[in-house]
Chain A
Amino acid sequence: MLPGDGVGPELMHAVKEVFKAAQVPVIFDEHHLSEVQNTASEEKLDRVVDSMKESKVALIGKIHTPMEYKGDLASYDMRLRRKLDLFANVVHVKSLPGYQTRHNNLDLVIIREQTEGEYSSLEHESAKGVIECLKIITRAKSQRIAKFAFDYATKKGRAKVTAVHKANIMKLGDGLFLQCCKEVAELYPKIKFDTMIIDNCCMQLVQNPYQFDVLVMPNLYGNIVDNLAAGLVGGAGVVPGESYSAEYAVFELGDRPSPSQVLAGHSGASHAQPRPCRALGALLCLSPLSLRAVPSFTSPFLPLPVLDLQVRTRDLGGYSTTSDFVKSVIDNLHPHYG
């Protein structure tokens, strides 16, 4: 368990409380890795990786990436993902029953390559006042994420995979990504394959998101589309995320909150709304997912978060606090025990 920064620790606490009430047979090995709190180092990172080698599964809050350049272009968050080779980020965007938004009954899955692309951390000042920032696209990683997307679609019984790109402009980079997706698609004749340019995709998501099923894309577009889609169903507070490598599974928030939201937790800013409420629903949603990943645990029985008006947190227009919400979830657990 990596609580991280901002609301992370409170959300982790909430998960632990609910797990305890539900008597979930999981022990958390906690590691406090944070760049902003200065508890990040290479040794700490290695300790987390060692722990992961045993457990294989992690639950994380948010390890905030500060804006300042302190000498390393890659953040700890990115470095952790690379060390664990968490190449696939999956965000399953599903409308919540009982919470109306502009578009209801949404059910789409966004698969994002998250170890290369625009986040390769390769930048330099080639001439004074001119920065070159390298976006890396490789055949190997593009094929890997495309295969992951089609395997996911097959396993979950989804009908279509749409590759999102900007190959008309980045002809070589996104062109390669697109080519790899097309090649992999041919190996899965039962799944429909489609492509769409990122700008049009974003417009379509806002106007007619129902046309999408599974989407696969490189790093930056995935980051943007994750957030856009999460906004469609209620925001950061209600969408969980999963990250996978060949060996590990990490469960976290679907859209990672903005710095101000994260830092509000630190500065104790009283003018800000109590941010803890956000993202709680997301983490409780993902708990059943993480439980399924624990080999010995067979039946996830945690109920969906209660979304009655009385218990909605502020991000959903209610007045509940984090602890009210947790209590409500725990109360809802008890009917399951005869």
Chain B
Amino acid sequence: MVMPNLYGNIVNNVCAGLVGGPGLVPGANYGHDYAVFETATRNTGKSIANRNIANPTAALLAACMMLDHLRLHSHASTIRQAVLASLDDPRTHTPDIGGQGTTSGAVQSIISHLARA
């Protein structure tokens, strides 16, 4: 879907909501010279900051998009697969997706999946 600025802002948020919320969806920004990667819905998350409950999925997937952009494809796939595999375990889910896990717990789980890869 392609659209002007405001509609894009709104549709990004609606669609992110459909698949599980701001913690899961990565985003990318492109111009002629630069590329910037971030979470899709750009939430500041003031209410959840510094409590070790933020979902690292969106940021990690954005980082993988950056790796693909840098042509480090095998690193990108390995990390992406580890992130997705880790999500299979509900014990690592942070509160935004209905779990009781922590940010650090989720990251540890992803790292252990990497070790197995």
Contact = CB atoms under 8 A, between A and B. Distances in A.
Interface of A: 166, 198-200, 202-207, 220, 224, 228
Nearest to B7: A224
Contacts of B12: 199
Nearest to B20: A207
- Interface extent on B, as a size class? 10 to 19
B6 A202 contact: no
Interface string B10-39: 101110111001100000000000000000
B55 interface: no
Specify which of A166, A198, A199 lies most central, judged by the most chain B CB atoms within 10 Å of its CB.
A199
Given A199-B41, A224-B10, 14 more contacts: A199-B9, A199-B10, A199-B13, A200-B41, A200-B43, A202-B10, A203-B13, A203-B17, A204-B17, A205-B14, A206-B14, A206-B17, A206-B18, A207-B21
Contacts of B9: 166, 198-199
Contacts of A204: 17
B6 A203 contact: no
Nearest to A102: B18
Nearest to A170: B6
Contact of A205 (B17, B21, B43): B17
A207 B96 CA distance: 11
Nearest to B18: A206
A203 B13 CA distance: 5
23 contacts: A166-B6, A166-B9, A198-B9, A198-B10, A199-B9, A199-B12, A199-B41, A200-B43, A202-B14, A203-B13, A203-B16, A203-B17, A203-B21, A203-B22, A203-B41, A205-B14, A205-B17, A206-B14, A206-B17, A206-B18, A207-B17, A207-B21, A224-B10
Contacts of A166: 6, 9
A206 B111 CA distance: 32
Contacts of A228: 14
Interface in B20-68: 21-22, 41, 43
Contacts of B6: 166, 220
Contacts of A220: 6
A22 B57 CA distance: 58
Nearest to B42: A199
Most buried by B among A203, A204, A205, A228: A203
A206 B19 CA distance: 10
A228 B10 CA distance: 11
Nearest first, the 7 closest Cβ-Cβ pairs linking A and B are A206-B17, A203-B13, A203-B17, A199-B13, A207-B17, A202-B14, A202-B13
Nearest to B16: A203
A191 B43 CA distance: 28
A166 B9 CA distance: 11
Contacts of B41: 199-200, 203
Contacts of A224: 10
Contacts of B17: 202-207
